[in-house]
């Protein structure tokens, strides 16, 4: 019996991460309804997982502390990318953030071509076109991709570029995916605290009472353990094994899951246009994993019809 390759497992881990991230809006909205406004939901969402895995960070601290500069720089880039992505929503429309950030597969494939010599194969061009086409179909952008025209747009675009760079750096690094994930959680928490202190330090608002944070812990801790932490390890494992463009395509499942769950749980519309867009994104994400499954089941020679490389 053949075993799945590391890359195949990484592709399914990335799909899982996209599925999980597509559900993130639910606890985030619940945190807002609990009275935590503006940057505070992101603070809770990032700091609680960091605190929960501090024992693991302490366990690996002696190695992490001695790790090469590449490892630490990668952690910083990952943290900057996700903090930029989260906070872009404050300054521009959700639709524009998602579209500009999820140009990531293009930057990922280009970077892999430049630094690793990976070809952008026909199957990958198909994935890019299906993914971006599906995204534009869902959001009804008939005029094409929006050009950045405000601070939030540029932050979202920068977040996507930084994530593609971080994905490439993780792929080129020699460190364990577990250590990258632990560093990812630590930097996310630190960055969320820094953004919160800056936001409330330079504004007229004051931090809410501690009781608001305490009240959300009984249900936020299980969500962190069941959803956030496993998704965090999966979202790091994928880029440590995959071309950054492929990882970016697989993560686009987040858009489809978010669209479907929002239509089921809110008044968001879901009709023929949204269904077509979700199907296009799903197909874009599944092309390579399905090809891998067929090749794993039948062997490469019997699945040449799927070999578009």
Question: What CA dihedral angle connects 155, 72, 239 and 40, to 10 degrees?
Answer: -40
pLDDT-based confidence at residue 303 (cuts at 50, 70, 90): very low
Please determine, for residue 143, whether its predicted confidence score (pLDDT) is greater than 60. no
Q: Are 113 and 172 in contact (CB under 8 A)?
A: no
pLDDT-based confidence at residue 301 (cuts at 50, 70, 90): very low
263-284 per-position pLDDT tens digit? 777 766 667 777 787 787 777 7
- Average confidence (pLDDT) over 37-61: 88
Distance between first and last Cα of the chain: 25
CA dist 241 and 236 (Å) reads: 9
- Average confidence (pLDDT) over 290-308: 55
* pLDDT at res. 204: 57
CA dist 168 and 151 (Å) reads: 26
CA dist 241 and 101 (Å) reads: 21
Q: Are 76 and 112 in contact (CB under 8 A)?
A: no
Sorted by where each begins, the domain ranges of the chain are: 6-306
Please determine, for residue 1, whether its predicted confidence score (pLDDT) is greater than 50. no
Question: What CA dihedral angle connects 249, 70, 39 and 56, to 10 degrees?
Answer: 100
pLDDT-based confidence at residue 261 (cuts at 50, 70, 90): confident
* pLDDT at res. 95: 67
* pLDDT at res. 307: 47
156-205 per-position pLDDT tens digit? 889 889 988 988 888 888 788 888 888 888 888 888 888 888 877 765 56
Please determine, for residue 52, whether its predicted confidence score (pLDDT) is greater than 80. yes
93-110 per-position pLDDT tens digit? 766 777 778 778 888 888
* pLDDT at res. 293: 67
CA dist 287 and 280 (Å) reads: 11
CA dist 194 and 182 (Å) reads: 19
């Amino acid at each position: 019996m053949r075993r799945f390759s590391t890359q195949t497992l990484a592709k399914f881990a990335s799909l899982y991460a996209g599925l999980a991230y597509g559900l993130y809006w639910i606890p985030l909205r619940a945190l807002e309804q609990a009275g935590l406004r503006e940057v505070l939901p992101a603070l809770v969402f990032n700091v609680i997982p960091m605190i929960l895995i501090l024992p693991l960070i302490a366990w690996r601290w002696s190695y992490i502390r001695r790790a090469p500069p590449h490892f630490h720089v990668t952690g910083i880039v990952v943290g900057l990318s996700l903090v930029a992505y989260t906070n872009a929503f404050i300054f521009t429309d959700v639709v524009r953030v998602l579209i500009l950030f999820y140009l990531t597969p293009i930057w990922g494939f280009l970077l892999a071509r430049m630094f690793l010599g990976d070809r952008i194969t026909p199957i990958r061009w198909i994935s890019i076109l299906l993914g971006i086409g599906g995204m534009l179909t869902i959001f009804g952008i008939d005029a094409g991709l929006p050009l950045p025209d405000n601070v939030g747009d540029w932050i979202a675009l920068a977040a996507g570029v930084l994530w593609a760079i971080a994905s490439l750096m993780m792929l080129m690094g020699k460190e364990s995916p577990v250590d990258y994930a632990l560093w990812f959680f630590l930097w996310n928490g630190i960055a969320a605290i820094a953004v919160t202190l800056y936001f409330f330090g330079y504004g007229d608002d004051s931090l809410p009472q501690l009781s608001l944070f305490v009240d959300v812990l009984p249900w936020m801790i299980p969500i962190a353990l069941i959803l956030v932490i496993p998704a965090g390890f999966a979202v790091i494992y994928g880029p440590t094994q995959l071309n950054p463009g492929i990882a970016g395509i697989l993560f686009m499942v987040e858009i489809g899951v978010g669209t479907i769950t929002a239509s089921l749980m809110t008044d968001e519309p879901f009709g023929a246009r949204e269904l077509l867009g979700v199907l296009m994104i799903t197909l874009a994400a599944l092309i390579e994993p399905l090809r891998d499954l067929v090749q794993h089941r039948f062997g490469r020679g019997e699945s040449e019809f799927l070999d578009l490389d």
